Structure 1
Amino acid sequence: MGSVKIGSAPDSWGVWFANDEKQTPWQRFLDEVAEAGYTRIELGPPGYLPTDPVQLKEELDKRGLEVTAGTIFEHLHRPDSWDSTWRDVSAAAELAAAMGAKHLVVIPSMWRGDDGQVIEPRLDHEGQARHGKQVTELGRRIAAEYGLRTQFHPHADGHVDSQETVERFLEETDGEHVNLCLDTGHISYCGGDNLELIRKYPERIGYVHLKQVDPVVLAQAEADGIGFDEAVRRGVMCEPPLGVPELPPVLDALAGLDADVFAIVEQDMYPCPPDVPLPIATRTLKYLQTHGGGGVSV
């Protein structure tokens, strides 16, 4: 039996950007995530938390927080994109490593825009193979230069999103250098099966984001043909246990893996009123502790 180590992230405080007046200030996020009972966090969008390692370490230490991962988008499916991707990835990896993190969560760029319109063609199998080769090399270099494990995060409206594209991605990549950040909400949003992915690819589940989808809001979003960002504004990502997938079976399956896994709570809700996140975060942690079985720790 492994263990599932719970944490949270700026996303659960409505943070999507480095700077935005609609977002919770970073000091308040750190205060409140600790107040809610979490001891582990992600860095969130690059530039949201202080990028000076000394300053950030001091801020984390005085609140009893540690960093599990950095997060960054990639666009390696595009020709001649290595240099621009590496510039952003290496900066995120450097700060994450300086904070003692062991992981870097890498997210694909989007094929569909906020208005629901296609902005890039979907990758065909040849394109998926090229992309997988590039991400594998990215993971190899991240490990070699920063000592971090690359965890690839399928994303709604991204070039890796549906069950089919997730499984294809796993086939086209090398598990020695890149594995899966299983985001339960994004998988369910795109009609995938989280438990099936854990069952079929236990050795590729390297990291987890926990979230749920409101099926009623999702059905209306699909009917209206809107993009993911607008669906979030409508409340498609909801507080557990109000949505899908059911999290207790997911936590049980994760605890059954022969590994210790970080499971970071992420409830997309940009933008949101400043007083909304803390009560939700507190209730969510209590729910996970109560329904996560003996394998869950905070």
Structure 2
Amino acid sequence: MPHVLDHIRVGSAPDSWGVWFPDDPRQVPWDRFLDEVAEAGYEWIELGPYGYLPTDPARLAEEVARRGLKVSAGTVFTGLHRGPAVWADTWSHVGRVAALTRAMGARHLVVIPSFWRDDKTAEILEPPELTAEQWGHLARGMERLGREVKETYGLDIVVHPHADTHIDTEAHVARFLDATDPALVGLCLDTGHYAYCGGDSVRLIETYGERLGYLHLKQVDPAVLADVVARSLPFGPAVQRGVMCEPPHGVPELGPVLEAAQKLGVDLFAIVEQDMYPCEPDRPLPIAERTRRFLRSCGA
């Protein structure tokens, strides 16, 4: 029997229901997502793309509460490596999401860097490597974001290394963490994205454990990933090929990741995010139920 991982709070997200956008006819309606995520046995959810779930705090609070759910975080996208010129637009976007996140009683804001190539067309939007000046903008910008989100909304930011962004590989993640103040900038480790980019999640937790503020649980299919790498496919088409697969059929093994996180001795959210955009509407619920059973078998 696995021992109980009592520091790990498991949830799921709209992403596991094939939701990537605030409004898209190929996505399940928000009320169906809420019904099914509760039915699958999850207690915690994320807001997903801002505007997918109702943005009126009173209505959202009612809808979530009557299904026995609670919100763990909101998500924002940022391009802070571009320097102070983008701050005003960034803060406008962040403010809307942070206000709703706080109103739901959540304490975390997941921050995803902007993509260097288009998620759908594969068009190269920017060089995949930042200059030294851009690294400086990124680090100082994230620290400013962390400070102002904390002061204004009482939330902690957790930066999410992500495929096709400038914070992706082990080297880039280490460089970013080394360049930022731990008091202002936490880490959201997404096990699937980190494996997709060649990283070792357990080693990251053991090396930078004091920075870990949040977990996203997903797995990569190694065979599909090898094809994605060989063809230099962008992330969107890679997802359509099934690169993110149902646990426990991929990598990394989630049991050891959860054990390493438990050893840190701090309470952590572990939110399941199985990228499936686009997907058939009846596909997510059975996968979500099986995944919840699997995580219970790991002690979570």
TM class by smaller structure: over 0.9
Corresponding residue number in structure 1 for 2:214: 207
Identical-pair percentage:
58
Q: Does 1:282 align with 2:289?
A: yes
What is the Cα deviation at residue 172 of structure 1? Answer: 1.1
2:261 is matched with which residue: 230, 239, 254? 254
**Residue 91 of structure 2, aligned match among 61, 86, 95:** 86
Tell me the alpha carbon deviations over residues 192-233 of structure 1, each in whole angstroms, 9 at most, x when there is no partner: 111111011111000000000001111111111110010001
TM-score normalized by structure 1?
0.96
Shift of 1:170: 0.3
Structure 1 residue 119, shift from structure 2 partner: 1.4
Cα distance in 2 for partners of 1:184, 1:116 equals 23
1:264 corresponds, among 271, 280, 283, to: 271
Matched, 1:190 2:197: yes
The CA distance in 1 between the partners of 2:201 and 2:134, in whole Å, is 25
1-structure distance, mates of 2:166, 2:86 = 15
The answer on whether the counterparts of 2:82 and 2:137 sit within 8 Å (CA) in structure 1 is no
Q: In angstroms, what is the RMSD of aligned CA positions?
A: 1.1
Structure-to-structure mapping, 1:211-222, within 5 angstroms: 211-222=218-229
Q: Give the deviation of 1:2 after TM superposition.
A: 6.1
1:166 matches 2:166: no
Counterpart of 1:24 in structure 2 is 28
Out of 99, 102, 127, the position equivalent to 2:104 is 99
- CA distance, structure 2, for counterparts of residue 125 and residue 33 of structure 1: 43
The separation in 2 between residues aligned to 1:27 and 1:111, in whole angstroms, is: 33
Give distance in 1, aligned partners of 2:259 and 2:174: 22
Give, as a single letter, the amino acid of the residue that structure 2 aligns with 1:23: Q
Q: Which residue type is aligned with residue 218 of structure 2?
A: K
Q: CA deviation at 1:117?
A: 4.1
User: What is the rounded CA distance, in whole Å, between the counterparts of 2:133 and 2:204 in structure 1?
Assistant: 23
Once residues 252 and 196 of structure 1 are traced to their aligned partners in structure 2, the CA distance between those partners, rounded to angstroms, is: 12
Residue 164 of structure 1 and its aligned partner are, at CA, apart by 0.7
Q: Does 1:142 align with 2:187?
A: no
Number of aligned positions between the proteins: 293
Q: Displacement, 1:129?
A: 2.2
Q: Which residue of 1 aligns with 2:124?
A: 118
Q: Residues of 2 paired with 1:124 and 1:190: CA distance?
A: 20
In the alignment, the residues of structure 1 paired with residue 123 and residue 195 of structure 2 have an alpha-carbon distance, to the nearest angstrom, of: 21
- Rounded to whole Å, the distance in 2 between the matches of 1:47 and 1:285 is 26
Alignment partner of 1:37 out of 16, 41, 44: 41
Any residues of structure 2 matched to 1:211-250 within 5 Å, and which? Answer: 211-250=218-257
Correspondence for 2:80: 76
